[in-house]
Amino acid sequence: MIYLDNNATTRIDPRVLETMMPYLTDNFANAASTHAFGLGANDAVKLARQQVSELIGSEMHEVVFTSGATEAINLAIKGVAENYQNKGKHIITVQTEHTAVLDVCRYLENKGFEVTYLPVQPDGLLDLEVLKSALRPDTILVSVMLVNNETGVIQPIKEIAALSHQAGALFMTDGTQAIGKLQVNVDDLGIDLMPLSAHKFYGPKGVGALFIRQRRPWRIKLEALLHGGGHEGGKRSGTLNVAGIAGLGKAAELAQKEMKQDSQRIGNIRDELEKELLKIEGTRINGNAKSRLYNVTNILFEGCDSDALIMGLNDIAISNGSACTSASIEPSHVLIAHGLSETEAFSCLRFSLGRFNSVEEVAGVVGKVKLVVEGLRAMVF
């Protein structure tokens, strides 16, 4: 199996697993226990908090550990809605956001909040003038993802954050697909809230974090989703997943050290794969080809059903959109927002590469894709 679905999840790095193993075997103590055994587990949590904070340029106390990005997104958006509704009940987000953000916003609409879903341009980028016109005195939060999970499009986050702050709104960016792959500094970009997930950058599943700004220009207050014990500064109660948190920390440390070389090597493989795939007649890239993450390409194959393509490529792991919506029979909301028709949206594949892919895999992948595309088109026409 050639694995090209790294935006869905990544293989755990062996060095991360090695870091986790002691906390799954001998060092199994509860990090909240006050005996020496528990204090040792707590030290592992402290180290991981430091490693994550160093990766994103925050302070340690601004990192709250969660079960993953989805929980972090819920904590951030619902927490702001609960705590800042005296200022207003207006939230702004984008039509191409991950469903974790969109579903929370729809939930809040049923609770009396007003949500503006901004369109994107055909290349997936947000028009800043459209954002300006949507901002209001009662806007309490703007949420725009840094890197799109389906197309890899990178939004101009620094400019978006500045506009949000000028209007008196908090700014959140979903960093799930960016952290560990791009250099991200929360202060440089003006980020107030940022969810992230370990399994997107070679860490374990079931653990993530939320950055919550606690320094100037403001200290953000969030209402907790989970109560009972007051863990994580009262923001997320529950016994800490010490092994997972240690793994997240190690993944963050490795990303900080190896991000540059990873980006160059993976980017070269992606470019070679994309170049060869685009030689197939009736193909084109979805999304902005320049403002895009180096590891992903989303390609339209005219006249081919993406599910049929995936079935035909049974020894290559690829996807036709977000793994979180794979049970849906609806076309990708991201590609529809780009202006694709339903038929076109059902004819696209996402190839997302990672640390464990090699350039030697490209020729085999391209050859198999070409054969399957030709076969499907012959059946249709």
Q: What is the CATH number of the domain that holds 319?
A: 3.90.1150.10
Return the active site residues: 324
Total of domains in the chain: 2
Residue 330 has what pLDDT? 86
Cis peptide before 331 (omega within 30 of 0): no
Render each residue's pLDDT in the chain as its tens digit; 381 residues: 999 999 999 999 999 999 999 999 999 998 988 899 888 989 999 999 999 999 999 999 999 999 999 999 999 999 999 999 999 999 999 999 999 999 999 999 999 999 999 999 999 999 999 999 999 999 999 999 999 999 999 999 999 999 999 999 999 999 999 999 999 999 999 999 999 999 999 999 999 999 999 987 779 999 888 888 888 887 888 999 999 999 999 999 999 999 999 999 999 999 999 999 999 999 999 999 999 999 999 999 999 999 999 999 999 999 986 555 555 578 999 999 999 999 999 999 999 999 999 999 999 999 999 999 999 998 865
Q: Left, alpha or beta for 243 (phi > 0: left; psi -120 to 50: alpha)?
A: alpha
> What is residue 380's predicted lDDT score, i.e. its pLDDT?
62
Q: Tell which of 224, 253, 282 closes a domain.
A: 253
- Regarding whether 163 and 273 lie in a shared domain, the answer is no
What pLDDT score does 381 carry? 53
6: number of CA atoms within 13 Å, CB side? 29
Quick one: pLDDT at residue 231? 87
- 124 lies in the same domain as 140: yes
Give me the pLDDT at residue 326, please. 52
My answer on whether 136 and 190 are in the same domain is yes
Sign of the Cα pseudo-torsion (140, 189, 64, 218, in order): negative
**Which of the listed residues 193, 220, 253 is the one where a domain comes to its end?**
253
In a shared domain, residues 160 and 288: no
Residues 286, 139: one domain? no
Q: Are residues 246 and 268 in the same domain?
A: no
Pick from 124, 94, 119: nearest CA to 286 = 124
DSSP state of 28: -
**Residue 70's CATH number:** 3.40.640.10
Q: Do 209 and 335 belong together in one domain?
A: no
Q: Which domain holds residue 51?
A: 14-253
Asked if residue 134 and residue 187 are part of one domain, the reply reads yes
* 249 and 270 assigned to the same domain: no
What is the per-residue pLDDT for 328?
A: 59
For residues 152 and 297, is the Cβ–Cβ distance under 8 A? yes
123 and 28 within one domain: yes
**Same domain assignment for residues 196 and 340:** no
C-alpha 74: how far from chain center: 14
**Separation of alpha carbons 110 and 372, rounded Å:** 45
Q: Which of 253, 288, 311 is the last residue of a domain?
A: 253
